[in-house]
A and B are shown apart, each in its own frame.
Chain A
Amino acid sequence: MTSYAVELKDVSFTYWNSEEESLKSLNLQIPKGQFVVITGPTGAGKSTFLQLLNGLIPHQIPGRLKGEVLVEGYNTRHSSVAELAQHVGLVFEDPDTQIVSLAVEDDIAFGPSNLGLPPSEIRARIVEALEKTRLSGFEQRNPFTLSGGEKQSLAIAGILAMRPSILVLDEPTSMLDPIGRSRIVAILKDLSTDIGTTIIVAEQNPELILEFADRVLLFDHGQIVLDGTPREVFTNIPVLTDIGVKIPPMVETFWELSKLGLWNGAYPLTITEAAHLLEQKIKGAPLKMPSSTSHQASQKETIVDVRSVEHVYEGELKALRGVNVQFQRGELTAIIGQNGSGKSTLSLHLVGILRPTNPQGRIFVAGHDVLNIPVKKLMRYINYVFQNPDEQLFMETVYAELEYGLVNMDLCADEWQPRLEESLTLFGLNEFANLPPKSLRRGLRTKVAIASIVAMQPEVLIIDEPTTGLDRRESLEILRVLEALVNNGSTVIIITHEMDLVAQFARRVIVMHGGEILMEGTPSEIFNQPNELHKASLLPPEIFLLASRLGWMPGNNLRNPADLAMMISQVI
């Protein structure tokens, strides 16, 4: 018997439709029972690596595989996916595509039923998987009615019911809202205590699971560039910066302190560690609030005015409950809240796709009554980019994709061509202009989708989850372009779950909960009220949590770890 759960011997893989190797000469051993986090930018080879482990590569996904992949001693080349399924369970990123049954318990039973186990054994496994994934009581529910976090829990339950000794999860939280993420993190934490189960998780933002990980593998360009404990990997700032992986906020804060010559010790990974170190450092020093710039409410023109809007879906769900809110011209506003809190419903009202279901509800955009203007005319004043770029892209080239909306605006070529060129340049898409959008990676497709709307030059641009599925570098690139648009006078509204990006880029934050506006204000006004945020099941960014642990109420000068380091430097 091998002592390794997974062993790779000089493994390379090239997809059938690609010239370049997606994995390059990997040599790796993962001992049984280890909790391994795989991280790296998009396209680094994380998903390809995970699909090697249960034999999807090479049995299901065609390509050229070199070397040997041994899972619990079985060579995946000589074992079918179905045989390997009893040893390796793979949970995918999108829960919607892996739930196939019409009731929760039937979906959990799907794997064991395929293995031909006795009904009594299947029922026992259902109960066990339901308990481990906190889904007890959901047995008869239709999966379509579950929340994102519950669906992903169900996907994990379906795999756990097969009792694999290796559990592999491919970015299980990337499509979830904060409450869904917390749910999955809690499940992973429980599973990490299961002796003997090897857990391998790919994550773009792994700070949530670092505390119970044994080992981190950092992938880039199909290779493992760092392999070590979470502390070893996530404190190697030169490599993380070079690759463009998100540095944990606490590490980044202390790195900034070290650049100021105020820190030369080990970097903390968690808020607790950071608070402990700082409390020691500032012991005896007056723990006063560092100076900060207070928010000066600038008098700006209201460009979007929402009055008493209610919306009821299909006579049942009240998605908006008398919403009153204004958006100011030339601001980047973030709307935050859980899935189902009404963010998208409100935004779709602003662009005329949805209409209030109460007669009193009114919406004005740039002085125009949205209810009395057709969408085709309204799109010149306000427009919306949906979360998934693939719901929009259909043309043969990027250029044609940008041209489509402009031509539909009945502009002549002299008018639309400069707009198109400007938008291509703004998003760095010139070199891809003649390529099919579908052939581009997710980050570029998102840019094309946004660029096609930006080219139409609406006064207000709404973007739903602009960073979903993107790595840190791509996310920052897009937010910086949006910031540039705002600096040029545009109004941008983003819907997002990424609190650190909200803190860094938004000038105003609207918190929605249960179809109502729970809070609105500047990022610091919002994030300094963790108890109120908790009502919407949201958490402030880590930099605000650390400031709070130190007893500070930071102002609008706290936007990122560098700002926090600067504030700390004033008291130590």
Chain B
Amino acid sequence: MALLEYRQRDSFLHLLHPAAKGIWIITMGVVLSIYFDPIPLGVILLLNLPFYFLGRIPWKRWLKPLGIVLFLGMIGYFVVSLFLNRPGVFTRYPDISRITLISIASERFFLGSMSITVGGIMYTLGQTIRSITLVFMVAVFVYSTAPSDLVYILNKLHIPHKLVFIVMVAYRFFPHIFHKLNVVIAAQRLRGWELSSRNPIKLARQYLPIIIPVFTEVVRISEYTTKAVESRAFGKSRFVLHRELNWGLKDSLFSVLWLAIAAIFLYLYIVHQIGVL
């Protein structure tokens, strides 16, 4: 539950303007979306690595769940890579799909031929590095950015306040409902509730003792929250932000750094085809 949850600290990343961190995420997101070659992707990961640590995130708690997600992702990429053994799959290095290390199934296999190739391994490595870079970047962003600052940015972007309010309430009540879910599961376990069927319809019915009380709580929260916000003049006038987030020199330098890095990688990709497999 604590995973990806904001914690107040005074680290370098925590003190950055959320928009500066947004520039970091967007610029690197664009580069990562077009790069497949594990070598430049590895360079990008190395460039980002110091900033993961500057957020002072609790690695011990994060590594296990993130590791599981990335491991499962890697398996998925590897399975896909088994089919990347035909000519023409790779454009910059066309031969790597032909260097077969282990042949698993022939052309007659109903899914087509499957083999472990150098190209497939390069693809798996690239996708894994890309995922690590992106997942850690988003995780560090969420961990180091106060939800209230995110809401502030959404307001600044002139997104209608009612939409921003929905985001804010969802963010506010998610931990509460998650806690309720755990309580309801515990309460029903103490009355003998357990999942005992493999039939999906029966299984769905077995979830009713959990779903109904949680749903009741969600309805109760929405009813009372509606009353509470109405009582605080919600929607009476244009919503006024009471504070400004200051954009400082470090925010400018951080943004310029990542814009420059992104520009270099885009140049290398467009002009020299670097990043393509």
Chain A positions within 8 Å of B, measured between CB atoms, are: 51, 54, 56, 59-61, 80-83, 85-86, 89-90, 92, 94, 96-103, 105-106, 109-119, 122-123, 126, 140-144, 158-159, 162, 314-315, 348, 351, 353, 375-376, 379, 383-384, 386, 388, 390-394, 404-405, 407-409, 438, 452-453, 456
Task: Please state if A143 and B237 are interface contacts (CB–CB under 8 Å).
Answer: no
Task: Please state if B180 and A391 are interface contacts (CB–CB under 8 Å).
Answer: yes
Given known A112-B242, A116-B240, contact A353–B189 (CB-CB < 8 A): yes
Question: Could you tell me how many residues of chain B have their Cβ less than 8 Å away from some Cβ of chain A?
Answer: 58
Q: With CB as the reference atom, state the residue of chain B lying closest to A116.
A: B237
Given known A100-B169, A116-B237, A119-B243, contact A92–B227 (CB-CB < 8 A): yes
The segment from B113-121, B146-154, B267-275 that touches chain A is B146-154
B213 close to chain A: CB less than 8 A: yes
Q: Which of B1, B176, B187, B240 touches A118 (beta carbons < 8 Å)?
A: B240
Given known A86-B233, A393-B213, contact A314–B2 (CB-CB < 8 A): yes
Task: Please state if A390 and B217 are interface contacts (CB–CB under 8 Å).
Answer: yes
Chain A residue numbers with a CB within 8 Å of B65 are: none
Residue interface bits B207-240, CB-to-A below 8 A is 1, else 0: 0110011001100110011111111111111111
Task: Please state if B228 and A103 are interface contacts (CB–CB under 8 Å).
Answer: no
Task: Please state if B231 and A85 are interface contacts (CB–CB under 8 Å).
Answer: yes
Chain A residue numbers with a CB within 8 Å of B169 are: 100
CA distance A126 to B241 in the complex (A): 13
Report 23 cross-chain contacts, Cβ distance below 8 Å, ordered by A residue: A51-B227, A56-B227, A56-B231, A85-B230, A92-B227, A92-B228, A97-B225, A101-B151, A101-B172, A102-B172, A112-B242, A113-B241, A159-B231, A162-B233, A353-B189, A376-B192, A379-B190, A379-B191, A384-B187, A390-B220, A394-B212, A408-B191, A438-B216
Task: Please state if A97 and B172 are interface contacts (CB–CB under 8 Å).
Answer: no
Residue interface bits B173-188, CB-to-A below 8 A is 1, else 0: 0011000100110111
Chain B residue numbers with a CB within 8 Å of A453 are: 190-191
Chain A residue numbers with a CB within 8 Å of B183 are: 386, 388, 391
Task: Please state if B191 and A392 are interface contacts (CB–CB under 8 Å).
Answer: yes
CA distance A529 to B194 in the complex (A): 46
Task: Please state if A102 and B190 are interface contacts (CB–CB under 8 Å).
Answer: no
Task: Please state if A123 and B242 are interface contacts (CB–CB under 8 Å).
Answer: yes
Task: Please state if A99 and B172 are interface contacts (CB–CB under 8 Å).
Answer: yes
Chain B residue numbers with a CB within 8 Å of A158 are: 232
Task: Please state if B1 and A85 are interface contacts (CB–CB under 8 Å).
Answer: no
Q: With CB as the reference atom, state the residue of chain B lying closest to A119.
A: B242
CA distance A388 to B176 in the complex (A): 14
Chain B residue numbers with a CB within 8 Å of A81 are: 230-231, 233
Task: Please state if A56 and B190 are interface contacts (CB–CB under 8 Å).
Answer: no
Given known A119-B242, A375-B189, contact A314–B237 (CB-CB < 8 A): no
- 10 closest A-B pairs by CB: A408-B192, A116-B237, A97-B224, A98-B228, A394-B212, A405-B191, A82-B236, A122-B242, A103-B148, A111-B232
Chain A residue numbers with a CB within 8 Å of B224 are: 92, 94, 97-98
Given known A102-B148, A116-B240, contact A97–B228 (CB-CB < 8 A): yes
Task: Please state if B240 and A113 are interface contacts (CB–CB under 8 Å).
Answer: yes
Q: With CB as the reference atom, state the residue of chain A lying closest to B180.
A: A391
Task: Please state if B190 and A60 are interface contacts (CB–CB under 8 Å).
Answer: no
CA distance A375 to B189 in the complex (A): 7
Closest CB in chain A relative to B148 CB, distance in Å? 4
CA distance A326 to B8 in the complex (A): 40
Task: Please state if B190 and A143 are interface contacts (CB–CB under 8 Å).
Answer: no
Given known A116-B237, A122-B240, A408-B192, contact A82–B208 (CB-CB < 8 A): no
Closest CB in chain A relative to B107 CB, distance in Å? 52
CA distance A74 to B150 in the complex (A): 39
Q: Which of B217, B220, B226, B243 has the most CB of A within 10 A?
A: B243
Closest CB in chain A relative to B213 CB, distance in Å? 5
Residue interface bits B143-161, CB-to-A below 8 A is 1, else 0: 0001110010000000000
B61 close to chain A: CB less than 8 A: yes
Q: Which of B146, B186, B224, B225 has the most CB of A within 10 A?
A: B186
Q: Which of B61, B147, B190, B191 has the most CB of A within 10 A?
A: B190
Task: Please state if A109 and B242 are interface contacts (CB–CB under 8 Å).
Answer: yes
Closest CB in chain B relative to A259 CB, distance in Å? 44
Closest CB in chain B relative to A99 CB, distance in Å? 7
Task: Please state if B191 and A452 are interface contacts (CB–CB under 8 Å).
Answer: yes
Task: Please state if B172 and A100 are interface contacts (CB–CB under 8 Å).
Answer: yes
Given known A140-B8, A391-B184, contact A162–B232 (CB-CB < 8 A): yes
Chain A residue numbers with a CB within 8 Å of B187 are: 384, 386, 391-392
B51 close to chain A: CB less than 8 A: no
Q: Which of B61, B229, B243 touches A123 (beta carbons < 8 Å)?
A: B243
Task: Please state if A392 and B231 are interface contacts (CB–CB under 8 Å).
Answer: no
8 more A-B contacts (CB under 8 A) besides A102-B168, A119-B243? A82-B235, A96-B176, A113-B242, A122-B240, A376-B189, A379-B190, A391-B187, A392-B188
CA distance A109 to B233 in the complex (A): 12
Q: Which of B1, B146, B212 touches A140 (beta carbons < 8 Å)?
A: B146
CA distance A210 to B187 in the complex (A): 38
Closest CB in chain A relative to B18 CB, distance in Å? 13
Task: Please state if A314 and B61 are interface contacts (CB–CB under 8 Å).
Answer: yes
CA distance A405 to B58 in the complex (A): 41
Task: Please state if A353 and B190 are interface contacts (CB–CB under 8 Å).
Answer: yes
B193 close to chain A: CB less than 8 A: yes
CA distance A451 to B235 in the complex (A): 45
B52 close to chain A: CB less than 8 A: no
Q: Which of B6, B227, B236 touches A142 (beta carbons < 8 Å)?
A: B6
CA distance A99 to B225 in the complex (A): 8
B247 close to chain A: CB less than 8 A: no
CA distance A388 to B221 in the complex (A): 14
Residue interface bits B1-28, CB-to-A below 8 A is 1, else 0: 1100010100000000000000000000
Task: Please state if A315 and B61 are interface contacts (CB–CB under 8 Å).
Answer: yes
Chain A residue numbers with a CB within 8 Å of B241 are: 113, 119
Chain A residue numbers with a CB within 8 Å of B226 are: 60
Chain A residue numbers with a CB within 8 Å of B148 are: 101-103, 106
Q: Which of A98, A113, A116, A408 touches B193 (beta carbons < 8 Å)?
A: A408
